[in-house]
Amino acid sequence: MSTRHLLDITDLTPGELRHVLALSVAPPPRSLEGLGVALVFEKPSNRTRHSMEMAVVQMGGHPVYTRGEEVGLDTRESVEDVTRILAGYHAVIAARVFSHATVERMAACSSVPVVNMLSDRSHPLQALADMVTMRQHVGAPDELSVAWVGDYNNVARSLAEAVLMLGGAMSFGCPAGYAPAADEIDRLSALGGPVRSSADPVAAVAGANVVHTDTWVSMGQEAESAERRKVFAGYIVDEKLMASAAPGARFMHCMPAHRGDEVSAEVFDGARSLVIEQGHHRLTAARGALSFLMEKSGKGPQS
Contact residues for ligand NVA, defined by CB under 6 A: 118, 153-155, 214-215, 218-219, 254
Find the helix or strand (DSSP H, E) in which 78 lies.
none
User: Which one among 255, 258, 272, 280 touches ligand CP, defined by CB under 6 A?
Assistant: 255
Contacted entry of ligand CP, ligand NVA, none for residue 198, CB cut-off 5 to 8 Å set by kind? none
Q: How far is the CB of 254 from ligand NVA (least distance, A)?
A: 5
CA distance 133 to 63: 25
Site for ligand CP in 28-57 (CB under 6 A): 45-48
Q: Which of 83, 110, 116, 126 binds ligand CP (CB under 6 A)?
A: 126
Interaxial angle between packed helices 14-24 and 275-296, expressed in degrees from 0 to 180 and rounded to the nearest 10: 110
303: helix, strand or coil: coil
Of 35 and 118, CB closest to ligand NVA? 118
Gap between the Cα atoms of 214 and 146, Å rounded: 14
DSSP string, 237-265: B-HHHHTTS-TT-EEEE-S---BTTTB-H
* CB-nearer residue toward ligand NVA: 53 or 214: 214
Taking the least distance from each CB to ligand NVA, the nearer of 61 and 150 is 150
CB of 46 to ligand CP, least distance (A): 3
Q: Does 121 bind ligand CP (CB under 6 A)?
A: no
Question: For the stretch 263-297, what's the b/e string if a residue is b when 16 or more beta carbons lie within 10 angstroms of its beta carbon?
Answer: bbeebbeeebbbbebbbebbbbbbbbbbbbbbbbb
Residue 154, contacted partner among ligand CP, ligand NVA, none, CB below 5-8 A by kind: ligand NVA
In contact, 161 and 189? CB cutoff 8 Å: no
Which residues contribute to the site for ligand CP (CB under 6 A)? Answer: 45-48, 118, 126, 254-255
